[in-house]
Structure 1
């Protein structure tokens, strides 16, 4: 007995369903059920390529996204396409019609839900677009082989091919809409980011200067704006920066701008004391608690009650003391050394370090729980080479201080100031101050000229430190210590120079220029030879590709920090690939 079929009605109704659905794939179960009702094509299924990358070892991996039983997740395990047939259609893009599936494909391919094994099978490709060789899906269905049904399989194939074409167009249209939506969302997101950046720049520009902090560069303005924002709170702050960047000045600014300005500001250099002395210094001790404890002594925490405690070089404390410090930060209470009475304090904590605390946590040298307690608001202080426009005003300030202290009236020429502004200053502001004091003390006249600077006379000690820098064992040290740039080895091009850097002028987020290895002459204030921007971009892309687009690895290849490589990627407009 032949079943009456309605091919034209089937195609029309399928077109209505697929073109009207927000997601044509989710509407396919209805189409497959209609194929069963109107055409007698049973156990239909839709497979799409699995582009998630989870099944990398399989040729043409696919997933069943819809069947007559329902959408993905509800599809009956027995209503599937024969795997070998589906992959062949994906590979060749040619429809396959088997007049006797059990005989041609094997009896195991017939779904278990079938009532017998006399079935024909039809599978047609779904292409990315019309006439494209790229197949993105396979539409398949089964037909029971009743008397006279075998000769009508060509009609079944034509109907399924037309439905596949409609599905192709629906998917393409939805993809175009989705692509436009993503583009609009990305544009909106970019506009929002730019607005936020502009707002941050405006806030930084409008932030009033802080007493004792000299400079008008964008880098120092950005830090000043952060200080103004966080100072009124009691949130712990971690000041991060190289030696000589003025961490104590910024800690004092946090205190002076807070509601605790009239309360004590107590500072402790954790690197200057042994662990046993540090415990006594911070927590205090009772009389007779150890040899030499002839009287009770209040600790720095107790002295800083209601005020601010500044712990400089926090990265130098040992693991044993870290646990004791963690308790007072968590609970606000402690006991003096040798005492039994529990004391409570209310202290605003500001810490500072020139070490890479994240690396210390990874090595197990610094407790992770303590790290998260102190690094609530990290503020990175820019090195002087990232704010070279501040060098002239700093130099004049230090020279004025020298004149007041020594009863002199010396001045410095613009040429000398310009030469200072081209130096790298591994010792940062402290080094600049020493440089000014040295040249002022040794200068014969009242006017300091460029030729009298130490770097022009071959007696700059920083040049020797710079030459000895080896990265891990650096005599300079610091959170952002400049590593000696090692040559990047490329199998095709041999050795390449490190990625060139800007001269540090401008935003505090700019990567710092790093020195060229060799002799003390490398520190001489001679501007580096310009490198074509396209070479920079090519080296950056090459390093990212060899590092698998992991920024930290690429930074190590180029001898710069991850923050600097992030800036370079943004500067050159390179989109980070995700795998």
Structure 2
């Protein structure tokens, strides 16, 4: 019986052309299902249902060799197998469920030859009829699934049943051909998945070994943990843990993936990996993958031959070739497209490549360090990033902490950036303790880069030699960090980072549950920051005495603070422990008009 594309039986006399058309449709549907599935065995029920719908092959089943190696009653192996899938779903049932005849299935396993029974009841016996069959006038088609093409080793049997009451005898030859093609597609899918799994296991084993070595504690490790790295500023536990990992992994040739939000200093840490390695005297080459198109990126990394494309007037060496025996740093690795990912995978696997437009194979020895602020695991799950490339580059992942998780380092970083500004501009600016406390209370979504910009901006705009807290952008309502934090969500970050989540903020209106865009306090879990010598935190403003008639309502408290401050928002913000931007939001929310004097 054949079924047309609209689900109805084709008219009598439609002939060979109609059968061939369903043959192609069946193979195409099976190929799409198997090649798109992460587990081809789990996808087989869908394939068996396609065979039923398109070809009329009923009660299909897949048998696979039993890994447990069960034996017969005499102790000798008898091609032990399990039923792995039927049209009802993926299972792992013993042969006794009779989805396929046991003796016939074992024969296909043993001989590797397809079996076609034109009348199962007469040729294989009554016991071979599957449970739930409408009657016993059935034909059986069973084909082998081999380990590899032309291999004598059979790992599975694909079988299906044909109803003889529907004139099925004339389709048996066609049925065998269809099942053989589907079995071949399944062979390739299983082979590919096994290769990927084997490669993944090997890489995971390397990663486990590297991480185990990185996590071992010893006296030497303690020394490394406290040993600073040139250019990396900070004494917080978070930054010390990262520098200890850098010290350990730098001594190996293992690929390193630096992960962190934008502005956490990934390039600085990549240089540290190179500087602490045995390749420190060799080239350190860096490439920003997000700054180049895919075609330019291929030419930039692999180089090109003269005349390879319009404008290629001379031979050019690529970055891989220039970084031979040294370190190559690929920044923003998560931005490369799928087509270039396949090209990059080859050189990471084999260590060889060809220049664009060339045919000569070149080999290089490069230590690879990559960096990204993307969630690569989510990209792999969506299919935007190749899983095999992910396992190649993510051998030792090192997560760089955002600045809000190392608040203790803010004073030292700020002073370093101010000293650098003074040296570059011939000035002698100083930052007051109050301004340092205000800086330490910021969230800095742009991390260290934003802090550096903040110091340079306030130093350039300050009028005197001392930088007071009132001159900071956040205290004047001109800091854009509040808007950036407000736009953070669980699946989108305007900044670019792994943790695109909104930090817990204090509630202004507890009844409405609204939150201000900028928190006025340090992140949870952190105390007041430590300050360089000569600095001391400014004392907090005196608490306002509560009078018997002092208003307690949110709107009344806001109006009261504005009146005490002479309707100057910055002063009212200090009285309430908020920022001027928060005061502005609160005034707008409660519909309070500013009074001008």
Superposition deviation, residue 475 in structure 1? 1.2
Matches within 5 A, 1:430-449: 430-449=449-468
Matched residue, 1:256: 275
Matched residue, 1:509: none
Deviations 1:236-264 (A, max 9, x none): 00000000000000000000000000000
Deviations 1:297-320 (A, max 9, x none): 000000000000000000000000
Matched residue, 1:419: 438
Distance 1:204 1:353 in 2: 29
Matched residue, 2:350: 331
Matched residue, 1:163: none
Distance 2:318 2:227 in 1: 35
Distance 1:469 1:262 in 2: 42
Distance 2:370 2:378 in 1: 17
Q: Secondary structure at the match of 1:441?
A: helix
Paired residue total: 314
Larger Rg: 1
Distance 1:406 1:197 in 2: 46
Alignment partner of 1:505 out of 526, 530, 534: 526
Give structure 1 regions of 4+ aligned residues with deviation exceeding 4 angstroms: 196-202, 484-487, 493-497, 524-528
TM-score with structure 1 setting the length: 0.51
Distance 1:441 1:501 in 2: 26
Q: Is the 8 A contact 1:384 1:428 kept in 2?
A: yes
Distance 1:197 1:495 in 2: 47
Distance 1:247 1:353 in 2: 8
Deviations 1:178-222 (A, max 9, x none): xxxxxxxxxxxxxxx9xx898699727743100000000000000
Q: Is the 8 A contact 1:201 1:222 kept in 2?
A: no
Distance 1:483 1:449 in 2: 29
Q: Secondary structure at the match of 1:295?
A: coil
Change (3 A) 1:417 1:470: same
**Structure 2 gap ranges (5+):** 1-211, 516-520, 528-569, 579-597
Change (3 A) 1:268 1:504: farther
Matches within 5 A, 1:94-109: none
Alignment partner of 2:240 out of 184, 197, 221: 221
Q: Is the 8 A contact 1:471 1:484 kept in 2?
A: no
Matched residue, 1:453: 472
Matched residue, 1:209: 228
Matched residue, 1:428: 447
Change (3 A) 1:400 1:486: closer
Q: Is the 8 A contact 2:404 2:523 kept in 1?
A: no
Distance 2:440 2:425 in 1: 25
Superposition deviation, residue 505 in structure 1? 3.3
Q: Secondary structure at the match of 2:349?
A: helix
TM-score with structure 2 setting the length: 0.49
Superposition deviation, residue 405 in structure 1? 0.9
Q: Is the 8 A contact 2:491 2:500 kept in 1?
A: no
Matched residue, 1:371: 390
Cα RMSD of the aligned pairs, angstroms, is: 3.3
Distance 2:218 2:367 in 1: 29
Distance 1:375 1:454 in 2: 39
Deviations 1:341-367 (A, max 9, x none): 000000000000000000000000000
Matched residue, 1:80: none
Superposition deviation, residue 465 in structure 1? 1.8
Matched residue, 2:52: none
Q: Is the 8 A contact 2:334 2:374 kept in 1?
A: yes
Residue 308 of structure 2 corresponds to residue 289 of structure 1: yes
Change (3 A) 1:317 1:362: same
Q: Is the 8 A contact 2:327 2:369 kept in 1?
A: yes
